[in-house]
Amino acid sequence: MAASIWKTCQVCLCRSIQYSSRVGPITRTISSQNASISHLLRRDPKEMCDTVVAKGWIKSVREQKHVMFLSLHDGSCIDSLQIVAKEHVCTDGIAFGCSVEVRGHLIPSKSKGQKVELSAEEIKVIGPCDNEIYPLKARTRHSADYTRQIPHLRSRTNTFSSLLRIRNSATQAVHAFFQEAGFLQVDTPIITSNDCEGAGETFTVQPANPVVLEDVEKNSNDKSGLFFNVPAFLTVSGQLHLEIVASSHQKVYTLGPTFRAENSSSRRHLSEFYMLEVEEAFADSVEDIMKLTEDCVKSVTHKVCNQSQDDVELFHKHVSPGHKDVIDKLLGKPFTVLSYTDAINILEKHRKQFEFDPKWGCDLLKEHEKFLVSHCDNIPVFVVDYPADIKPFYAKSNDDPSTVAAVDLLVPDVGELVGGTVREDRLDILQQRLDDLKLTDSYQWYLDLRRFGNVPHSGFGLGFERYLQFLLGVEHIRDVIPFPRYAHSCLL
């Protein structure tokens, strides 16, 4: 019987290998019928094909006596494709904002700033747009405050269209960096039973339909009235789950949504945002965290500025003039390192400049963070060795038990971008902390990680939206995420 099964498996494996050897690399040919505007604009005018089809949305309409010039955009790049349409080609309904399909010939362009344009032979209006009531207006720079109120349409504006491409580029750059460094991507859960930060800023998860809970209780001895039998929340951090996987796979990371139920209307807080979180086993010092963090931030920034150069330049030219110098300085100089104690001493010497007095033992506020970066010539600053009382229970105690091996990265304008710690790997100390916080029962599994095959480890979290704020010089965090969620606002 076993021999028969083995022979069958060998046959299946052999067939699989034969099949695999017949299949070459899968590629998608971009034809003239499905090419993006980005692709069409890169065409060599000397190699024009017979007929192309372009699809997108009209960004502007300019009419002359016998010809109409249209600007066509499809989101694939910052530029639009100029459409030249003679009278007999133009149809009713062509207007700013409408969607169209244009068939014609690519020809060398006589206009400045573009190599090619599309001489239209046929224009088909797919979706008309009533300009009388359309909230966006042609050739108008709409304010961020205005477009924030129409999230279903703001991706059509030039600025937000660029932001989405930059965000995509930054996401890919993050993955490229960690994949090349040998890290494993882990999808940590969005629903969790722990509050990693311990601040109580969690959203509770329960079914909206009470009938569901009644059905759940019918099939269980548990009468807690809870769907999961224990309180469940939207995650505030994937760190603890990453620690689990790092205890078997050493180098892991995640980039996903996290949630904080805090009533804040500041320019750098959201209720839903994305976090890059990293955990590395056998990394046992803040120096390890700082090295990985600096390499990551510089690598991602360099790649985004190169791959999305036109989009980044739009922000640095029109949204935050002069911010390019800040980014160049980040890329060209090593980050500064200050101990928390030295940082407080610097702040105390300038206490008259602050609304809130800096004191040893208190967390740094945004005004303090921004001052420290400015004091260090606008170069990002690592602040290390924080007081134990203002850091989470899992931060490892230093030789001086009043401080822990924690590090924050402060950057110009934004303040704190990254927070990290060496994790406490000594079972007795961690056990005592959890006892003091009355959390021992809930975190037995966390103690098990120290009981079975324990290793020193560390990690950090980077706020992805704050990174984009810093990279582009955007004033409000709500303008670097497609659909911002914050207190009193959950549009769509």
State in Å, rounded, how far the first CA of the chain is from the last one. Answer: 60
Per-residue model confidence as pLDDT tens for the chain (492 residues)? 445 544 444 444 444 434 444 555 554 545 556 789 999 998 876 767 668 999 999 999 999 888 999 999 999 999 999 999 998 888 889 999 999 999 999 998 888 878 899 999 999 999 999 999 999 999 899 999 999 999 999 999 999 999 999 999 999 999 999 999 999 999 999 999 887 666 568 899 999 888 888 888 887 777 778 888 888 999 999 999 999 999 999 999 999 999 999 887 788 889 999 999 999 999 999 999 999 999 999 999 999 999 999 999 999 999 999 999 999 999 999 999 999 999 999 999 999 999 999 999 999 999 999 999 999 999 999 999 999 999 999 999 999 989 999 999 999 999 999 999 999 999 999 999 999 999 898 899 999 999 999 999 999 999 999 999 999 999 999 999 999 998 888 988
Q: Which residue has the tokens 């949630």?
A: 259
Provide the pLDDT for residue 480.
Answer: 97
Question: Closest by alpha carbon to 487, among 257, 263, 289?
Answer: 263
pLDDT in tens, 110-165: 888 788 999 999 999 999 999 999 999 998 999 999 999 999 999 999 999 999 99
Phi, psi of 113 (to 5 degrees): 85, 5
Cα–Cα distances in angstroms (integers) from residue 256 to residues 253, 284, 293, 407, 411, in the given order = 10, 25, 18, 22, 22
Provide the pLDDT for residue 266.
Answer: 81
Provide the pLDDT for residue 18.
Answer: 45
Residue type, 150: I
CA distance 232 to 202: 9
Question: Closest by alpha carbon to 454, among 446, 463, 442, 462?
Answer: 446
Provide the pLDDT for residue 6.
Answer: 47
For 141, other C-beta atoms within 10 Å of its C-beta total 9
Cα–Cα distances in angstroms (integers) from residue 250 to residues 281, 289, 294, 381, 423, in the given order = 5, 14, 20, 27, 14
Provide the pLDDT for residue 194.
Answer: 81
CA distance 280 to 457: 6
Hey, what are 453's tokens?
A: 């095959």
Our CA angle for 314, 320, 323, nearest 5°, is 100
Provide the pLDDT for residue 282.
Answer: 97
